[in-house]
A and B are shown apart, each in its own frame.
Chain A
């Protein structure tokens, strides 16, 4: 029924609430997220966090921006399958496929199989779409270790235990599409994920979920440009090797009487630790010296969000990254920086107002100390509006 209704809402086709006899009543649920922002930064957003020049820097947009508008389409395909796609409309033109997956609806026994392109189930924030974030941006650890969000082309199998407490086990195999993978184009699987989630309520006012995740990928010739070296030059490097990440996540929510409408508090934190072990080719454009390279990078964040009255929420987040100390093979010991002796961090404050469940206007201030010697005071205003089908949100 939701599908029929959302069609009416989105297209304004029908005069009455009942349009089941209309041929288009079988059309899928359609929703559109409109978002945009204004950003004021003191530093170039393309500058990576110190020690993370070989990681992606998703950064921010400066000035007035049309954010990514996101189009969501979903419906049951038949009694066995449900399909969903999220298409991101790039402000510069073009459409990219954020999600496009099929999931089973009738396997039973607590099993859920998903295949296609989807956000990996690792961590807590990874599966959430940008419009559900509590801040304009992702935590630094997600930006540096997962390029904001790990999207995978592959298969996911989840099993929910038949216990009173929520216990879910999941596994994924995929192409290794997003960082730290290198988009494997060969037979076999390029990346694997294992995760376990447990959760429960404590009385009627509190609930929680905790998770443990493991990710592995074999990355081939992953190229990074503008990497500083010991001589003070910016070079292009290539890495080939194993990348293993472990993560912990915890979320706890509290609402007086369990009533989210009035006031509620959400505390969450996540920690990821990645070890990459392989060969690094230094300065592929000229010197091109290859030797072993091993580094363990980690990062964490904690944040608290409080809805202090209906429609008004505020949140505070602290981010921290550790670039680790690399073991660099002898051939590159004089070229590659092994120890940056700096831990990037950031503190972010957010205040948002929602006129209804479908609109949100947000103000965000951040003190970004992620680049050594280049502190950045950041200011953002953002709007997030959703129209069309009313999608249900995950925890």
Chain B
């Protein structure tokens, strides 16, 4: 008990001494973006790992404790975190980070959403009413999100406004240069037919001009059965694809099954920062993603 109290006192004191921004990032890509925009000014906690299915996270005690001390919560939104984040925020007793509050930021609110369903029926599987939430696979999306996130940080920490402004400009410049490089590297991917395991890549395929011809999951979030995979194999005989894509957190079985029978490459993409050994920051994430896609062409 003594230890708890001394930690408590230490925390209260240290908070005022350093005045860093405590950020609770739902996914690793937003933690990485926060790092780019705030540097040492932010003390960032990442709620989920690259090998976790972000739809299936639990409202663990550790997450509630971290949200309690957050000045800013940075999440994807678009219902990606709906199975756990509402409980975490409610139980945190932190008035600032409640949805709609000053310390709550949804990346999805800054970008144009794809695959917004025209009808909402659970018979269609695990669909998200606001559109497909996997927005981080299109590198272009990071520009408007960075802009909106930097504005939010300036609101939460006005004392360091100049720092955020300066870091945002530097990020935008560097990111634009990287975008040009990635798009040039990815030129051979234009029009390439791909199969995806989960409907998690519409932003990537739109960005790089890939052509998605089939999905291994019969409905979003449902495991493919053997008979369904056989149907996909039939489709592939008429519309051949070059590779099958899956995110690092997904089981490799369905991809491996189809790759072997359709004689195409199975490509595992890091999907977020930390999803592969190489993808240790946002730049490396897209370097590695494009390198893996190009390798799939060979």
Contacts and interface: CB of A to CB of B under 8 A. Distances in A.
A12 interface: yes
B84 interface: yes
B62 A160 contact: no
A106 B94 CA distance: 7
Contact of A164 (B52, B65, B117, B130): B65
Interface string B106-123: 000000000011111110
Interface string A261-281: 110000000000000000000
B95 A393 contact: no
B93 A393 contact: no
Contacts of A387: 122
A158 interface: yes
Secondary structure of the B contact surface, majority rule: loop
Interface in B54-68: 55-62, 64-66, 68
Contacts of B90: 82, 103, 105, 112
A393 B83 contact: yes
B148 to A, nearest CB: 17
A108 B69 CA distance: 10
Contact of B93 (A1, A112, A164, A262): A112
B121 A9 contact: yes
A197 B61 CA distance: 9
A16 interface: yes
Contact of A110 (B56, B68, B84, B125): B68
Contacts of B49: 204, 257-258
A112 B91 contact: yes
B102 to A, nearest CB: 12
A103 B93 CA distance: 11
Contacts of A257: 49, 51-52, 249
A162 B122 contact: no
A375 B203 CA distance: 60
B96 interface: yes
Given A106-B98, A108-B95, A161-B8, A311 B52 contact: no
B161 to A, nearest CB: 24
A339 interface: no
A22 interface: no
B82 A259 contact: no
Contacts of A162: 8, 11-12, 68-69
A260 interface: yes
A199 B62 contact: yes
B51 A160 contact: no
A2 interface: yes
A2 B92 contact: no
A393 B118 CA distance: 27
A394 interface: yes
A201 B129 contact: no
A395 B129 contact: no
Contact of A8 (B55, B94, B120, B221): B120
Given A259-B249, A260-B53, A160 B87 contact: no
A204 B84 CA distance: 17
B51 A259 contact: yes
A160 B122 contact: no
A17 interface: yes
B17 interface: no
Given A108-B94, A199-B62, A395-B58, A262 B251 contact: yes
Number of contact residues on B: which range applies? Answer: 35 or more
A17 B130 contact: yes
A204 B28 CA distance: 13
Nearest to B220: A356
Contacts of A128: none
A205 to B, nearest CB: 10
Contacts of A91: none
Contact of B65 (A2, A106, A163): A163
Contacts of A5: 79, 120, 129-130
Given A17-B116, A158-B93, A260 B62 contact: no
B52 A259 contact: yes
Contacts of B117: 17
Given A160-B64, A260-B58, A2 B11 contact: no
A395 B59 CA distance: 5
B223 interface: yes
B145 interface: no
A111 interface: yes
Contacts of A163: 4, 7-8, 11, 65
Of A165, A259, A355, which is in contact with the most chain B CB atoms at under 10 Å from its CB? A259
Contacts of A159: 93
B95 A8 contact: no
B86 A105 contact: no
A392 to B, nearest CB: 4
Of B8, B52, B57, which is in contact with the most chain A CB atoms at under 10 Å from its CB? B52
Contacts of B126: 356-357
A165 B65 contact: yes
B138 to A, nearest CB: 20
B121 A12 contact: yes
B93 A16 contact: no
A72 to B, nearest CB: 13
Interface in B179-229: 221-223
Interface string A163-199: 1111110000000000000000000000000000111
8 contacts: A106-B95, A110-B92, A110-B93, A163-B11, A166-B62, A259-B52, A261-B55, A392-B83
Given A108-B95, A163-B7, 18 more contacts: A1-B130, A4-B129, A15-B119, A105-B90, A106-B98, A108-B93, A112-B90, A112-B91, A158-B93, A164-B66, A166-B62, A167-B65, A259-B51, A261-B53, A356-B126, A390-B82, A392-B84, A393-B59
Interface of A: 1-2, 4-5, 8-9, 12, 14-17, 82, 103, 105-112, 158-168, 197-201, 204, 207-209, 253, 257-262, 310-311, 355-358, 387, 390, 392-395
